[in-house]
A = this chain, B = another copy of it.
Amino acid sequence: MEQLEAQGLSQMMICDPNAVFYLTGKWIHPGERFLGLLLQKGEMPVLFVNELFTFEEELGVKKVYYSDADDLLPIWKREIRGDETLGIDKVMAAKFLLQMMEGGAARGYRNGSPAIDAARSIKDAAEIELMRESSRINDLCMEDFKRLIRPNVTELEVAEQMLAIYKSHGAEGYSFDPIVAFGRNAADPHHMPDNTVLKEGDTVLFDVGGRYHDYCSDMTRTFFYKAEPSSLQKEIYNLVRRANEEAEAMLRPGIPISSVDKKARDIITEGGYGPYFTHRLGHFIGIEDHEYGDVSQMNSNLEEAGIIHSVEPGIYYMEGGVGVRIEDLVLITPDGHEVLNHYSHEIEIIE
């Protein structure tokens, strides 16, 4: 509510199931049906939910159930203050927004999501504990994933065994579908696991994450298979490693988030591979693998204690057939930072 007021809003309709979970602790996946949590200054929040998703828990909200036969407009209008602007969730489906506008549900409509995004970007103590544990599990899984590597295995065969490993360590599932890339496939940052067969001298890139009590992990490591890396592989690996470690080392509250991206990018550029680092340095993370908040040149905000984001420089040198990415999650602490992943950055050869 404070964040909303700072934006000049006295009411907002939150529709993103992730944001509804963040605020109520309750997952509701409404599919194409309307889900809305109406926050209003000085009032109990109102949760609009289809009767198909009736539930018992008391969430400190007023529940308003509707059926598929109901017209939503009068139901909304009974609760929304028609003479005030309504903050709109950035992901609200246009069909609902257009219906509100055509029916005159509020005086005006404005994207109110920056308020909830700002709140979500600062993790509280309980969230930090879950994020730590989620990344601890990811470290353990990474150790296990190396054991899936055997002669002639394909990327898909490896990837398909990862879910069971997450579950064996107490995770509920993936935070995103795992990326497994062998050899030159690692030089394509969007590569998805396919039937590529592993061969000696390949890099082996794992970009993986699990979900623990609804909180996401996300880490990348790049290994080598059965052979010392070539001088090109080593050069690229060490450059990416230095970019990762120097960017992480500088993290503390008060520095511009853009300066962290710049640090990593400058190192890679000075090393001669600037054009091959083709994406932002990182993204915020929590209930969602990608939450609002870029670690990029375009983010003019400052680092703050409680932020957790990835640091994931990469070089995708397709001409040389070499791709390397090294990614950790990092928490900004009151006086510096804490890297949530403890898996080594050393060059490691899988035998």
Contact = CB atoms under 8 A, between A and B. Distances in A.
Interface of A: 31-32, 52, 68-69, 88-95, 97-99, 109-111, 113, 190, 279-280, 290, 294, 296-298
Contacts of A99: 111
A68 B109 CA distance: 25
Contacts of A280: 68
Given A88-B98, A111-B98, A190-B52, A298 B68 contact: yes
A235 B42 CA distance: 54
B95 A93 contact: no
Nearest to A89: B94
A231 B105 CA distance: 53
B90 A111 contact: no
A296 B52 contact: no
Give the top 5 A-B pairs by smallest Cβ distance, nearest first. A90-B95, A92-B94, A88-B94, A94-B97, A91-B93
A294 B113 CA distance: 32
Contacts of A91: 32, 93-95
Contact of A31 (B32, B88, B97, B290): B290
Nearest to A92: B94
Contacts of A113: 95
B97 A97 contact: yes
A279 to B, nearest CB: 8
Contact of A111 (B89, B94, B296): B94
Nearest to A99: B111
